[in-house]
Amino acid sequence: MAVDNPSHHLRPGQSVHAAITSGDPAHTAILIPHDSVVYVDGKATAFVAETDTRVRPVPVRLGGSDGTRHEVLEGLEAGQRVAATGVFALKSELFR
């Protein structure tokens, strides 16, 4: 990244504090843990809690990931609870 320095106040090796802003408008996103996503028939799926003891599989369309969380573009609504542990066991129950 290049920074304009027409007045030559910045010198090589100098430490500075800077704020970097993006040209893109900010947006809100639904994020779920990486471990909440499994693939069923090749489709990304999350298990949504209907009650404290009942879940249902929901296909989701994923966006970006930071390695610990996935952005969900479609399939979930804000505030829905998803299973974050035991997901492999839930998936295996689908095929019983």
Residue-range domain boundaries for the chain: 30-94
- Considering the four listed CATH numbers 2.40.420.20, 1.10.10.10, 3.90.1200.10, 3.40.50.150, the one that applies to the domain covering 30-94 is 2.40.420.20
Q: Are the C-beta atoms of 46 and 32 separated by less than 8 Å?
A: yes
pLDDT category at 1 given cuts 50, 70, 90 is low
Q: Give the C-alpha separation, 47 to 79, whole Å.
A: 14
Work out the number of other CB atoms within 10 angstroms of the CB of residue 87. 19
Q: What is the pTM of this model?
A: 0.72
- pLDDT value of position 7: 87
pLDDT tens digits, 44-62: 999 999 999 999 999 999 9
Looking at residue 82, what DSSP letter applies? B
